[in-house]
């Protein structure tokens, strides 16, 4: 017998069990509320330290908690931390956890859990790596108090601990945080506002979360990522629907409640559908990226990376992705237009085909195959690969576009094998704009190569020296100058190419109330009424 998988069958997978009849009426009403959401991609990699994928990050915010968080004005606020202080020379920082915090298995959250969690995070995250260059030691004072000692003042310690996006310094039990940083965790115990229902997890199809009744929320309003994290529903189901037209129909038919990233050509119909609204929950939006593999020919040569930069036109990417200029912005700013470190230096955003062809000759391009893994199940990324392939073919490069799902792209980008033997030459991804706002958090500015760099493994001593300078000054005018110099150098050596900034509102049923404006889709504070 063949099982027919359509949206109605998908929605039936893993339905919740019976509720206790003795449950108080208010709690019963809350527990029976379920949010069904179709996110931009299915959950496959579920360790938010192991991958920078948004899916892993979104999963992490459901089940883990953070020491600090970022409010709607991008100010850092305590979250798990109750109080903190620093010595007069700003070399010793002491933090105290809030009382009553505990993991889903009932164990208390202690300093002994915090320290290995931060150590594991710092091995994977660009900002964490830079922070650890300042850290002399991290010690537990008692069960709720821990201390971080620095070798010199560091102006971004709290920003690192409260960073809102990939990779987030989530706190895990010590036994789980002991997992090597290059291995994914398989135990999903956190202390966050939701439990992960592992028995119902079907990778690539469905993930289920239930309200954590023991979660100790801050007693203050939700504000961006910060403040209270009060869950007002009993259950949240993350459902996969590869065909987004089907997902949009399901939303308009009241079969699902939330569609994270509907394609832009569906927005007009969704905005007019009864009971549906568009919610621009991420005010700064997103940025796309084109990343080359510095370890594999031909992109191990500077001139050939520069040829790619000059072969491409940012507007072509944005028109293919978005289509409607109301939702996108053409900008060379690596640190995001409209933010303190925005810069127009280094690239015009326009193609110069003659220059690109000349650079290809100077670099000695020999017809090597350019392998581009392309996520066909994520339309916003699929369009990027198509544009890039056409542009590179137009200057005489031998391009192979390899169609695959986004989970497979994530797995392949970690490989350092030759492109024709399971590796890759170039790939595209999307980031929340807040990921890229400064030279310390922007993973594709990290130029440590194989010794701590991100996928693509760009290596450049000049950029690393400038990043060090940025980290050591707390003077905004100096940081602006340094970030501009970093951008110029990054375009010179081509660490990556921004494909443009864009907005992508979510679509949801109007019955969902309290959706927060934040760089991440959050499911606390949301009530489902009617």
Beta strands 194-196 and 328-329, pairing class? unpaired
Q: Calculate the average pLDDT of the chain.
A: 92
**pLDDT reported for residue 46:** 86
Report residue 45's pLDDT band, with 50, 70 and 90 as the boundaries.
confident
Output the pTM of the full model.
0.86
- The token pair that represents 524 in the structure block: 């606390």
Q: Which of 464, 529, 452 is nearest to 493 (CA)?
A: 464
Q: What are the E-state strand segments in 217-317?
A: 235-239, 258-259, 276-279, 286-292
Report in angstroms the alpha-carbon separations of 404 from 114, 263, 374, 408: 37, 19, 6, 6
Q: Which of 250, 252, 244 is nearest to 269 (CA)?
A: 252
CA atoms within 13 A on the CB side of 258: 24
Length of the chain: 530
**How far, in Å, CA of 29 to CA of 20, rounded?**
12
**pLDDT reported for residue 41:** 86
Q: Which of 138, 209, 194, 163 is nearest to 49 (CA)?
A: 163
**pLDDT reported for residue 166:** 79
Per-residue pLDDT, averaged over 242-262, amounts to 95
Report in angstroms the alpha-carbon separations of 182 from 59, 91, 113, 177, 380: 19, 30, 19, 12, 29
**How far, in Å, CA of 331 to CA of 433, rounded?**
13
3-state secondary structure of 239: strand
According to DSSP H, which parts of 299-415 are helical?
A: 302-311, 314-321, 353-362, 379-394, 406-413
φ and ψ of 177, to 5 deg: -65, -20
3-state secondary structure of 97: strand
**pLDDT reported for residue 22:** 40
- The torsion of the CA quartet 478, 481, 482, 486, rounded to 10 degrees, works out to 170
Q: Quick check: 423 pLDDT over 50?
A: yes
Q: Are 290 and 383 in contact (CB under 8 A)?
A: no
**pLDDT reported for residue 29:** 54
**pLDDT reported for residue 74:** 86
CATH of domain 286-502: 3.10.105.10
φ and ψ of 375, to 5 deg: -80, 100
Report residue 31's pLDDT band, with 50, 70 and 90 as the boundaries.
low
Give residue-wise pLDDT tens across range 462-507.
999 999 999 988 789 999 999 999 999 999 999 999 999 999 999 9
Q: Are 253 and 487 in contact (CB under 8 A)?
A: no
Per-residue pLDDT, averaged over 16-23, amounts to 38
**pLDDT reported for residue 242:** 85
**pLDDT reported for residue 71:** 94
**pLDDT reported for residue 378:** 86
Report residue 30's pLDDT band, with 50, 70 and 90 as the boundaries.
low
Q: Quick check: 265 pLDDT over 90?
A: yes
Report in angstroms the alpha-carbon separations of 414 from 13, 19, 157, 371, 419: 32, 43, 28, 14, 12
**pLDDT reported for residue 185:** 92
CA-based angle 324:330:332, to the nearest 5?
Answer: 160
Domain ranges within the chain, ordered by starting residue:
23-41+193-282+505-530, 65-180, 286-502
CATH says 23-41+193-282+505-530 is which class?
alpha beta
Q: Are 120 and 49 in contact (CB under 8 A)?
A: yes
**How far, in Å, CA of 136 to CA of 94, rounded?**
14
Over pLDDT 70: what percentage of the chain?
A: 94
**How far, in Å, CA of 429 to CA of 44, rounded?**
16
| CATH pick for 65-180 out of 3.30.413.10, 3.30.70.1230, 3.90.76.10, 2.30.30.40 | 3.90.76.10
């Amino acid at each position: 017998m063949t099982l027919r998988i359509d949206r109605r069958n998908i929605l039936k997978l893993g339905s919740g069990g019976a509720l206790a009849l003795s449950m108080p009426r208010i709690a019963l009403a809350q527990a029976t509320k379920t949010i069904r959401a179709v996110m931009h991609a299915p959950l496959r990699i579920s360790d938010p330290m192991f991958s920078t994928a948004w899916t892993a990050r979104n999963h992490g915010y459901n089940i883990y908690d953070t020491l600090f968080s970022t409010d709607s004005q991008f100010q850092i606020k305590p979250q798990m931390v109750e109080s903190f202080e620093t010595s007069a020379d700003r070399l010793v920082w002491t933090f105290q956890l809030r009382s009553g915090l505990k993991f889903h298995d009932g164990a208390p959250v202690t300093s002994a859990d915090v320290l290995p969690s931060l150590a594991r995070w710092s091995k994977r995250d660009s900002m964490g790596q830079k922070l650890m260059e300042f850290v002399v030691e991290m010690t537990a004072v008692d069960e709720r108090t821990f201390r971080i000692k620095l070798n010199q003042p560091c102006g971004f310690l709290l920003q690192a601990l409260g960073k809102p996006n990939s990779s987030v310094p989530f706190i895990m039990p010590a036994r789980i945080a002991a997992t090597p940083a290059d291995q994914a965790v398989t135990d999903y115990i956190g202390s966050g506002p939701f439990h992960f229902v592992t028995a119902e997890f079907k990778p690539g199809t469905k993930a289920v979360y239930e309200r954590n009744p023991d979660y100790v929320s801050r007693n203050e309003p939700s504000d961006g990522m910060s403040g209270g994290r009060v869950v007002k529903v009993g259950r949240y189901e993350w459902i996969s629907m590869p065909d987004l037209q089907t997902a949009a129909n399901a939303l308009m038919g009241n079969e699902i409640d939330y569609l994270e990233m509907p394609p832009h050509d569906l927005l007009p119909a969704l905005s007019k559908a009864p009971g549906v609204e568009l919610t621009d929950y991420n005010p700064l939006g997103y940025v796309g990226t084109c990343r080359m593999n510095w370890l594999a020919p031909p992109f191990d040569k500077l001139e050939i990376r520069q040829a790619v930069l000059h072969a491409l036109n940012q507007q072509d990417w944005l028109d293919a992705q978005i289509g409607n200029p109301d939702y996108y912005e053409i900008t060379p700013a690596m640190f995001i237009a409209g933010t303190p470190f925005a810069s127009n230096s280094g690239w015009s955003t326009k193609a110069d085909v003659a220059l690109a062809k000349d650079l290809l000759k100077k670099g000695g391009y020999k017809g090597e195959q350019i392998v581009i893994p392309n996520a066909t199940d994520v339309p916003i990324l699929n369009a990027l690969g198509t544009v890039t392939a056409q542009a590179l073919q137009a200057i005489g490069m031998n391009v192979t576009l390899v169609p695959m799902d986004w989970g497979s792209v994530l797995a392949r980008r970690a490989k350092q094998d030759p492109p024709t033997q399971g590796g890759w030459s170039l790939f595209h991804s999307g980031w929340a704009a807040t990921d890229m706002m400064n030279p310390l958090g922007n993973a594709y500015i990290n130029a440590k190569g194989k010794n701590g760099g991100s996928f693509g493994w760009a290596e450049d001593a000049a950029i690393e020296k400038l990043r060090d300078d940025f980290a050591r000054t707390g003077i905004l005018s100096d940081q602006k100058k340094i970030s501009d110099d970093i951008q110029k150098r990054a375009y010179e050596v081509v660490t990556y190419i921004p494909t443009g900034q864009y907005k992508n509102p979510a679509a949801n049923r109007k019955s969902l109330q309290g959706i927060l404006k934040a760089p991440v889709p959050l499911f606390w504070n949301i009530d489902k009424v009617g």
